[in-house]
Structure 1
Amino acid sequence: MQAITDYKDSTDLSTSGFVYFQILSVFGLIQQSLRTFSGIYVISGLDKQQLLNYIHQNIYDPQKCRIDVIASCFNISPTYFGAYFKRNFGVSYRNYFHQYRWSLIEKRLKSGKLNNKQIAVEFCFSDESHFSNYCQKIKKQRALDQ
């Protein structure tokens, strides 16, 4: 860049081969840098809070919380999503999803305001039986963990 600014005082820049090749070199460096850092740019564009907000807003619809759907929404690969989530939140996405979902279900069960069928519908279980099986599975898992 300094060479270009020094050279501009001595000749006509519009016809200078020297300036042309200097500018091509600068553009080449920029292009190479963009290729090198493009992955980092995408990573920095993924906001952790936005990701959690998306999951919390869509927790009631498991189809919207699938890894491939979330990755597509945030313009990242599904493989990268899993690694990113584990690195930034200290738990796998699957475990986080099930823990958060269970905490919401547990609150509804304890409140007593909704019956099992209503909770099953709210969380998009296919039926009340599927919901009951899910609850039993989670309770067994928790008992084993303790």
Structure 2
Amino acid sequence: MIDQGGLWIGTERQGISYFNKQKVRFENFNTKNSLLPHNEVRDIFYAPDGHLWIATNGGGLSKMDTESKSFINYQHLPNHTSGLVTNSIYSVYEDREGILWVGTYAGGVCFNSAKNDKFELIKHLTYNSNSISDSQDPKCLPRP
């Protein structure tokens, strides 16, 4: 994921790294040196407002302020009906309208259209042929 000054890289076991092209060096963020909740990063999305969305497998979803290097974490809470349905997040994408789409493992697709901490769920319903076809491992990608 490229921003104006460098390249963001999500890793399978070591969190995220930022390559600063001007300084020609890496800066690493993981569970030991930051508030990133899990080191297994499945997807990243650099939003137009400068925040980095980080999908982790086991730690939920993180929003990183790339200026201050601070994190806000969104995680599944049992018995919480307006949050993430799982902490296994496989994809994240923000569309042109600013809606955040979150693909989960075996939980369906969550979305947030109000820019708050509440997520709504879209999942496969076996009795409804108009529902999403499968909830196992959805990916959120822009339409060309």
TM range (shorter): under 0.3
Tell me which structure has the larger Cα radius of gyration. 1
- Structure with more of its chain in strand, by fraction: 2
| TM superposition score normalised by structure 1 | 0.24
TM-score by length of 2: 0.24
Q: Which has the higher helix share?
A: 1
